[in-house]
Amino acid sequence: MALRSIRSVAVFCGSNHGASETYADAARVLGRILAEAGMTVIYGGTTNGLMAVVADAALAAGGKVHGVTTETLHLRGQSHPGLTMCEIAPSLQLRKARMIELADAFIALPGGIGTVEELMQVWSMNQLSEIDKPVGLLNSAGFFGAFLQFIDHMVDTKFLPAAHRHSICVEAEAASLVDQLRSYTHTDVPKWL
pLDDT at 85: 97
Residues in a beta bridge with 138: 171
Tens-place pLDDT, residues 42-88: 999 999 999 999 999 999 999 999 999 999 999 999 999 999 999 99
pLDDT at 193: 62
Hey, what amino acid is at 96?
Answer: K
How many CB atoms are closer than 10 A to CB 50? 28
Model-level pTM?
Answer: 0.96
Which stretches does DSSP call E strand in 80-133? 85-89, 105-108
Rounded Cα distance, 92 and 38, in Å:
27
102-129: string of b/e by CB count within 10 Å (b at 16+)?
bbbbbbbbbbeeebeebbebbbebbbee
CATH of range 8-181; options 3.30.365.10, 3.90.1150.10, 3.50.50.60, 3.40.50.450: 3.40.50.450
